[in-house]
Amino acid sequence: MTDSPRVSTRRVYTGRVVNLDVDTVRFPNGSIGELEMVRHPGASAVVPFLSDPAGDDPQILLIRQYRYAAERYLYEVPAGRLDANEAPEHCARRELREETGCEAERVEHMFTMYTTPGFTDERIHVFMAVGLTHGEVAREADEFIEVETMPLSRALSMVERGEIQDGKTSLALLYAAGFRAGR
- Give the residue numbers annotated as catalytic, written as ranges: 143
Q: What is the distance between the alpha carbons of residues 127 and 75, in angstroms, rounded to a whole number? A: 17
Q: What is the distance between the alpha carbons of residues 179 and 183, in angstroms, rounded to a whole number? A: 7
**21, 9 contact by CB (below 8 A):** yes
DSSP 30-79: S-EEEEEEEE---EEEEEEBSS-TTSSS-EEEEEEEEEGGGTEEEEE--E
How far is the first Cα of the chain from the last one, in angstroms, to the nearest whole number?
A: 44
Sheet of strand 32-39, all strands in order from the earlier edge strand to the far edge = 6-14, 19-26, 32-39
CA proximity to 82, closest of 48, 144, 127: 127
Amino acid code (one letter) for 180: R
**138, 102 contact by CB (below 8 A):** no
